[in-house]
Structure 1
Amino acid sequence: MKKLFASLSKDATLGSVFSLFPGKLAPWCEYESLVMRGKSDLSFAERELIAAYVSGLNACSYCHGAHTMFARAYGIDPELIESLMEDLNSAPVDQRFKPILAYVAKLTLSPSRMTEEDANAVYKAGWSEDALFDAIQVCGVFNLVNRLVEGTGISRVGNDPNDVDEQTLAKFRSETFYTDFGRANGLDV
């Protein structure tokens, strides 16, 4: 951990930041829970894949590692996520999903350059405006949380995504995972 906050220990996690600023992070935690586990045209797996991908694009190892594990809980091979990081076009991901991933990549890396063609590629692949908006929300949430993590100096990644037991994976699959995590770390959500 980079020692950016004297009140955080060297082995601080995102939960440590939640505990330090519960009043400020509770509304964000509720929103993240809605975005990641609320009703959507995108599955939980697809949203976790977007979270891991955006976090990887931002070089946020903490969130990239965590959401690679969460995506694994929904059956996504961590190798697929790593292949996305190398090259979206050749990665073995569903062709229908690639325009959404291209959209969030561009939104992350050059947001002022979004075009109608970017959105039309998503629609042409058969996705609705609701699905695109949900992808945008996941992208936005993780661009924010990546900066919270990096800005507070959190860097401890934890487990290898391939080395997580089934009980832990089941916890990640919970529809209330995000609010449960917030409550466990002192948030009133």
Structure 2
Amino acid sequence: MPHIALLSDEPGIRGLFTFRPETARPLNELVEALLRADNTLTRGERELIAAYVSALNECRYCYSSHAAYAAAQLDGGMDLVEQVRDDLGAAPISPKLRALLNIAAAVQQGGLRVTGQLVSAARDTGATDVEIHDTVLIAAAFCMYNRYVDGLGTFAPDDPASYATRAKRIVSDGYLALLSESQRNAGTQA
């Protein structure tokens, strides 16, 4: 049960966006830029970073959501996402993505945990400065999103199908397209 009256039966961050639509737009713009804008990392890889950090933070709603979004965009689907979550070292992913996920895990523990050695290891696998930057920002942003969702006691559906259904819409339309009309207008009204 949420810690505050959200006036919505929407799960996770979606209920929070309905409660404070003026914050929904900028938060969705950030996630749209981080996870969907043009980038040398695929959308699936960036969603995997978000899911991995959410798993480390034990945020069930965010992990389930972004795991579904990653699975819909990665070869290997949910099996791959769960392998990464359960044993990053043994997961069948590229050395570059593994190095970036190691950086994301360090950010999840605290920004000062990101070391020159982790960054060098990522560069040695071909990671660019932009990819390293974006990994750190995705990880930091998802620590915030996870704490927002869990700090207000939102609920997470148990049915994986609900996340898979939403994943289809996120993949095809993006995060901004799914804002309600009131949420879309909240950031543009004077």
Aligned match of 1:181: 178
Q: What letter is aligned with 1:187?
A: R
Aligned match of 2:53: 54
Aligned match of 1:91: 91
1:81 equivalent to 2:81? Answer yes
TM-aligned CA deviation for residue 97 of structure 1: 1.3
Aligned match of 1:4: 3
Q: What letter is aligned with 1:180?
A: A
CA RMSD after TM alignment: 2.3
Between 1:59-68 and 1:177-186, the stretch displaced more is 177-186
Is contact 2:83–2:91 with CA below 8 Å preserved after alignment?
A: yes
User: Which runs of structure 2 are paired with 1:1-189 in the superposition (5 Å)?
Assistant: 2-8=1-7, 12-75=11-74, 76-157=76-157, 159-160=159-160, 164=164, 169-174=167-172, 176-183=173-180, 186-188=183-185
Tell me how far apart the structure 1 counterparts of residues 144 and 163 of structure 2 sit (CA, whole Å). 27
Tell me how far apart the structure 1 counterparts of residues 18 and 162 of structure 2 sit (CA, whole Å). 28
After TM superposition, the score normalised by the length of structure 2 is 0.86
Between 1:3-12 and 1:85-94, the stretch displaced more is 3-12
After TM superposition, the score normalised by the length of structure 1 is 0.86
Tell me how far apart the structure 1 counterparts of residues 162 and 23 of structure 2 sit (CA, whole Å). 33
TM-aligned CA deviation for residue 86 of structure 1: 2.2
The share of aligned pairs that are identical, in percent, is 26
Q: What letter is aligned with 1:47?
A: R
Tell me how far apart the structure 2 counterparts of residues 163 and 178 of structure 1 sit (CA, whole Å). 14
TM-aligned CA deviation for residue 59 of structure 1: 0.2
Would you say how many aligned residue pairs link Structure 1 and Structure 2?
Answer: 185
Q: Secondary structure of the equivalent of 1:38?
A: coil
Tell me how far apart the structure 1 counterparts of residues 90 and 121 of structure 2 sit (CA, whole Å). 17
**Distance of aligned partners of 1:121 and 1:153 in 2 relative to their CA distance in 1, 3 Å threshold:** same
Is contact 1:50–1:135 with CA below 8 Å preserved after alignment?
A: yes
TM-aligned CA deviation for residue 132 of structure 1: 0.8
Gapped runs of 5+ residues in structure 2?
A: none
Tell me how far apart the structure 1 counterparts of residues 78 and 162 of structure 2 sit (CA, whole Å). 7
Tell me how far apart the structure 2 counterparts of residues 185 and 73 of structure 1 sit (CA, whole Å). 28
